[in-house]
Structures are given as structure tokens and as C-alpha cells.
A and B are shown apart, each in its own frame.
Chain A
């Protein structure tokens, strides 16, 4: 197929994330049992650290679905885990495994194979489990994960544990069937199509039961929720509380992506997605503790990797079929790479622990408010991307406590490559809107036109820190703002008056 669908991480030889970001991760993971921490450590979807070091890959082997979501159009991919408007090439289990092994031989970072669509993996259980079985024969080190709507989960838990699958993601958008009825028009259940509230009631019960069964078997569970303004925005906090109480390890809130051209119910009926600020507010409300990860990028069902460099063209089915692969050597390379990373992370954890102590010293300077900044990067933890080429921005929060990565904002249009999208909004308008809430953009270079548009929108472009390490640069910009007196918060103002 034409469109590139494999995204390979750009991985640092050493020191991909500087100590401050990893400090945040250390806080996130500090309270977890050792066994869970180890599982998470290598999972690029779960761990902020792993995210910088490991690649994952999704294989589109599961076309069928057993429910309908109002944000999904089955003519395209599932919107849960993938971008609307992009059609996956459905692979047979054999093709999927061949491709995974090819990627795993070329890229030692390759550590996770996920099955997430375009339909529901557990509505295609034969194909999904066949893929896992075949892969385990040649590459037993590659971890497996599944993303599901949860309807068929309880009856699959036993088989999932047999395949030694450590990670399952359940998309849970509600725990209240009245809200569910606004999200799911129907489900296929026990040989019938069930609609409305009754459908939502069954789906919710199955999701919760599946979650409990997985936790009881020691399988890590992440919960994804799609934030749908006016439908479940006020409800996700409760979802978060319940799924965490039941033992979900992460709760990840993702924005609804809806536009008429996707042909979805929400898209066509004008249901909007959340603004960046609304999303952050719900994520904050759901955070409560440290276990919420913000770096989910709504990656496509057939994508691979983390910080994106696109090498999909190297792994087309034809090329993969022609490759001669020494599976044992590939396995050895992957294991060696992981050993190296483990040692690095261990060293960083020690460093981070020292830092936390330093942070707890009473601040000598007046308090400054936290500031969000966007960063254009190609990877390696460096500000090395041109503003105009950035397909996504990493958003960092700088404050007294340090610098932490809080999320990604994509700039790409979901409907294709033209400069303007259906609504006549230009690319720069869209980017400015995407960057809502950020006060600065750090990039390697930027054109004059976007420079002035950003300034007009109150976002300060900054190229002074080009090619510097992200966290250090963000911290420096924040300190400069603080010194210029731009960060006095309301409380400090009052004290001064």
C-alpha cells in the first residue's frame, strides 16, 4: 500500500530523556510493585521512559467488530486506536508475523506487537490468537498486547493468559448505560443485534467483568477513554475512579476526533472534539495520582514506534517476503539492546532519586506559575525539528517542581494532505489552535509568517535553544520568564500589593 504505515523510533544511543522527565516517571512508577514496574519499563505505551527507547508495532489482522461506536465509521479504521480516514491493509496472521519479524530483525528496539484493529481483536479471536501463536515460535521475546472494546473479553481471558499476554487495553467510555446509549448505537450479543440502553448495559458489564478477571490473573490493564464533550466529559472522573479501584494500572483520556468527512455519526451530526484545554482539564481531574500517562498519541492501528520517523516503505509485504532473516541473531540483538537500556534506566533512577531530594528544598525565589510549552523534535530528546515540518508537538509543563512531558499534540490533518481542510481553515490556523494553552514554542527553525502568526496568538516562538536538550531548554525559558517577572501568580501578586 502507498501510505507509509511503520513509524520507527529515533532512539538515542544514550540519554534520550534527561533526568527531569525521568524524574516524573520515577514518581509515576515509584509506588508500583517491582513486578509491575518491570513489565511497564519496556512497554512504549505505558512507560514514559520506555517510550523513548522502544518501538512497537501494530498489525491489522482484525477487521471485524462486534459493536458500533458513534465515533467510528467502519468504512475506515476504528477511531479508538487509529486515525479516521486511514484505511488499514488487513493482513493475514502469517503476513503480520512475517512483517513483525522483519521489523524486529532490522530494529533491535522492537519490543511490542499490538493487535488493535481495524475492528476488535477479540471479535476476530482466531486471527488474533493465531498471530500471537506464530510470533511466539520465532520471537518469544516480543511482548504482545491487545486493545479491545471489552465485549468479548470475559470469554477470552483464559486464552489471553495462555498466550502470556501481559498488556490489555480496554476502551471504556462510560460506566453509566444512559451515557453509553449516546455512544454505542448497537452491539452484537448472543446472536442478536442489541440496541440502545440495553446494549450499553451489557457492554459496560462485560468491560468491568473483563477488567476484574484480567487483574485477578495479573495481566496489566490500561483503560482508554475517548473524551466526548457534552456526552461523557463530566463522567470520566467517575470512570477513572472505578477502573483504578478495580486495578487498572493506567487511565488514558484521549480526545474525540470528529469531522464530517470521516462519515461518523458524531462527525456528521456536528459533535465536536474537546479543545486542548478541555482535554487537559479532564486529564487533570482524572489524574488524582501519578499513574496517568499523557503521552498517548492515538497512534494508528497499524503503526509502529514512538517518536516518529517513517520507514514504512521498507517493510511492504513484497519487500518483507524477499528478506532473508536470521531469527536467532535478531533475537540476540534485541536482547542485548534491552540489557543496555535496562542498565541506563537503572542509572537514571538513582539520579532521579537524588533530584527529588533537591526539589524539596524550600524555594528561594518567588513562586512562578506553571507554563506549558510546545517543542518541535524529531527525537533524541533534542529540539531539532523545523516548526513547519513538525507533525506533532510535545507539550511540556515547566514549573517550580521541574519540567515534565504532559502530552502530544498532532498537527497533521486527518483528512489528507491539502493545505486547507474542508472548513477553509489554513494549516497555520490549525496549528495555532492545536497549541492552545501553550505560551511558547521551541523549535529548530521557523518561517517569518508562522512566527508572526504565533506571536499574534500570544505564543512566543523560540529558536534560541535549537539543538539543545529539551528539558534543559524548557527549564531555561521558564527561568527567563520568571526573571522577567512574567510568571507572578495571583497569590504572589496579592502579597506584593
Chain B
């Protein structure tokens, strides 16, 4: 049971100091979660801390690859604008 940071992460570093298990570290090309250390904040906080501050929809996923912050959930943009919000080049 662990969360994972994927390649839409913008390296804003907001998540890193919040992790109660110190499971997050800066890495190239983006921040990473140590799966063996992450307990999804169970026992520490009601919500996983990294996913509660991360500003990028889709950047943090669970073991089933489901984003904790799905498209539209943070920006409140309607679905027809989701494509426009993603980076112009690079990652999907």
C-alpha cells in the first residue's frame, strides 16, 4: 500500500516536507515516493498529506493507478478544457 508520484509532477516540492514517514525525496526528473516507506498516512492523518497539497491533478496515484486528484478536481475546469490545461509538450 503506497502512493506514487508520476511524471506530471512539476517538482514544486510542496509534498516533501509534509510526509510523516519521510517517504518523499527530490529526484530527477521528478519527486519520488519510496513505496516501502509510504503508509498512505494511515494512523497519522485523515488524508494522505502529499495528495492534499499537490497542486497538479493526476500527479499522485494509488496502487491501482487511480489519481488521488482527478482531472478537474483541483482547478474546477470543465472537462472540455482539460486538454488545454496540460503542458503544451511532453508528458500526457
Q: Which residues of A contact B (CB under 8 A)?
A: 63-66, 68, 73-75, 90, 118-119, 123-124, 126, 185-186, 188, 191-193, 260, 263, 265, 268-269
**B63 at the binding interface (Cβ < 8 Å):** no
Instruction: Give the complex CA separation of A193 and B54 in angstroms.
Output: 10
What is the minimal beta-carbon distance from B47 to any residue of chain A, in angstroms? 6
Q: How many residues of B contact A (CB 8 A)?
A: 24
Nearest-Cβ distance from residue A131 to partner chain B, whole angstroms: 15
Question: Closest CB of chain B to A266's CB: distance in Å?
Answer: 10
Whether A119 and B12, one on each chain, are in contact in the complex, defined by CB atoms closer than 8 angstroms, is yes
B76 contacts A by Cβ under 8 Å: yes
Contact of A119 among B14, B74, B75, B87 (CB under 8 A): B14
Chain B residues near A75: list those with CB within 8 A.
10, 56, 87
Given contacts A65-B14, A192-B46, contact A265 B53 (CB under 8 A): no
Given known A65-B55, A66-B53, A68-B55, contact A123–B14 (CB-CB < 8 A): yes
A260 CA to B87 CA, complexed, in Å: 12
Q: How many Å from the CB of A231 to the closest CB on chain B?
A: 14
CA distance A63 to B54 in the complex (A): 12
Residue of B nearest to A186 (CB): B74
Minimum CB distance partner of A73 in chain B: B85
**A-B CB contact pairs (8 Å), 17 listed:** A64-B12, A64-B14, A64-B53, A65-B55, A68-B55, A74-B10, A75-B10, A119-B12, A123-B14, A185-B74, A188-B52, A191-B45, A192-B52, A263-B85, A265-B75, A268-B81, A269-B77
A74 contacts B56, C-beta separation under 8 Å: yes
Question: Which positions 16-52 of chain B face chain A at CB distance < 8 Å?
Answer: 17-18, 45-47, 49, 52
Contact residues of B: prevailing secondary structure:
loop
For the complex, what is the distance from the CA of A124 to the CA of B53, rounded to whole Å? 13
Task: Show the binding face of B for A, using Cβ within 8 Å.
Answer: 10-14, 17-18, 45-47, 49, 52-53, 55-56, 74-77, 81, 84-87
Residue of B11, B12, B76, B84 most packed against chain A (CB within 10 A): B12
Q: Contact between A193 and B53 (Cβ–Cβ < 8 Å)?
A: yes
> Which residue on B lies nearest to A191, using beta carbons?
B45
Q: Which of B12, B45, B75 contacts A65 (CB 8 A)?
A: B12
CB-based nearest A residue for B82: A268
A123 CB to closest chain B CB, in angstroms? Answer: 7
Chain B residues lying within 8 Å of A65, measured Cβ to Cβ, are 12, 14, 55
How far apart sit A461 and B86, CA to CA, in the bound complex (Å)?
Answer: 43
Cα A260 to Cα B12 in complex, Å, equals 22
CA distance A263 to B57 in the complex (A): 13
Q: Which residues of A contact B84 (CB under 8 A)?
A: 260, 263, 268
Minimum CB–CB distance from A331 to chain B (whole Å) comes to 33
Instruction: Report B-chain residues with C-beta under 8 Å of the C-beta of A126.
Output: 17
CB-defined contacts of A191 to chain B, threshold 8 Å: 18, 45-47, 49, 52
